[in-house]
Structure 1
Amino acid sequence: MPSSNLEGAAQPGRPRDKALDETILRVTLKLLAETGLESVTMAKICRLSGIPATSIYRRYPDAYSVIVAAIEHDLKKMQMSLPDQGSLRADLLAFVELMAHTLNEDRARMLAGMILPMHKDPRLSSLLSRKLEDLRSRLWRSIIERAIGRGELHSHALKAQPLDEVAQTMIFDKAVIRQQPSTQDFLVQLVDNVLIPALAFHR
């Protein structure tokens, strides 16, 4: 699949129809989840969306540009804040629940089909990893800072940053590699048997 500019910029012309844009991106995400990145073509996007090829090509020069735009569009929907739950344990549980929700069934299938192609395309890998890391690290820091403010943790707990990576990796492995949902029992055990014991060193 030919590569192009990651921004997937539209071609100049009349104002874009947002409904058409939404349909193109939604269909592309559906194809990514069902067939994998390397099987997504402009012909398939046209056929599944019912949108003429000329309308799509006015917006995107090739399938790669549509894929990048669709992924960016999907990533923008991810929640970037987590309300205070009142305690460290409750915050941690909300954190892993959000991570599991972020890696829902459709995204898990999409990412599973992108693992090998991402190894060949570091730009696409960077796009995904940068956004997920930003989401995860911001939420984790807010949780730790609140716990410090409550007196539940010492300030050096902020240095325990790899723990949020551990949580995401375990959820990613279950959702994307094993293609299994993260049950509530799994998430509770992740908090009670992994995260809280590790953070106990920072009390």
Structure 2
Amino acid sequence: MAGEEREEAILAATLELLAEVGYDRMRMDAVAERARASKATIYRRWPGKAELVVTAIERHTAAAMDDRADPGNLRDDLLGRMRAMRDGLTGQDAGLLLGLLTAMHHDAELAAIVRARMIDDKRRAFDPAIDRAIDRGELPKGLDRAMLAEVSSAMLFSRAFVTGEPLDDAFLTDLVDRVLLPLVQHRAGDA
């Protein structure tokens, strides 16, 4: 198996085991066995379980957000990004995310890595949409993007894990039209 194929097998095995047994019960030897790789191969690339798990989740969520065609306007671009985030939360990712959040409460190393890497990735999820809107002249350069990611993530998380209310297209459309677009347009006025 080539290096890239081996890495993909290791990351896939990591996600599968996380979904099956959770972070706390996942063992590196089980990842190695499932990926048909040695533990030495895994440890050459990732110094520990926390780094491996974060890399696997980052790669998985990045794949869902990448390669989205430009719909031609900010509103539709935001809707597409929100649908991708929603689909991740309502699919297998929900269990992974909840397990990760639970593990972060008692694993300081994992919490530090997640905060250092994944939170920035989440904030960058909207960069392609914002960049295209700037290129089209819909938004000014220098726009503060952090609030967009925070608000959108919080709203999705609340519905998915707290209130249990639907995360349907009607909600996403309302969220984009009544919250996210006004937020970005207001923040654009501050830029």
Residues 113 and 19 from structure 1, CA distance in 2 versus in 1: closer, same or farther, beyond 3 angstroms? same
Contact 1:33–1:110 under 8 Å retained in 2: yes
From the two aligned structures, give the one with the greater helix fraction: 2
1:76-155 equivalences in 2 (<5 Å): 76-77=59-60, 78=62, 79-80=65-66, 82-103=68-89, 105-155=91-141
User: Which string of whole-angstrom CA distances, capped at 9 and with x for unpartnered residues, describes residues 152-175 of structure 1?
Assistant: 34557x136312210022223334
- Using the TM superposition, give the Cα deviation of residue 23 of structure 1 relative to its aligned residue in structure 2, in angstroms: 4.4
User: TM-score of the superposition, structure 1-length normalised?
Assistant: 0.66
The equivalent of 1:37 in structure 2 is: 23
User: TM-score of the superposition, structure 2-length normalised?
Assistant: 0.69
- Distance of 1:153 and 1:42 partners within structure 2: 46
Contact 1:108–1:179 under 8 Å retained in 2: no
- Distance of 1:38 and 1:19 partners within structure 2: 26
- Using the TM superposition, give the Cα deviation of residue 45 of structure 1 relative to its aligned residue in structure 2, in angstroms: 4.8
The equivalent of 2:147 in structure 1 is: 162
The equivalent of 1:58 in structure 2 is: 40
- Distance of 1:104 and 1:151 partners within structure 2: 34
Q: Which amino acid aligns with 2:13?
A: V
- Structure 1 residue runs of 5 or longer lacking an equivalent are 1-14
Paired residues in the alignment total 182
Residues 72 and 139 from structure 1, CA distance in 2 versus in 1: closer, same or farther, beyond 3 angstroms? closer
- Structure 2 residue runs of 5 or longer lacking an equivalent are none
| Identity score, percent | 29
Give the number of the structure whose alpha-carbon radius of gyration is greater. 1
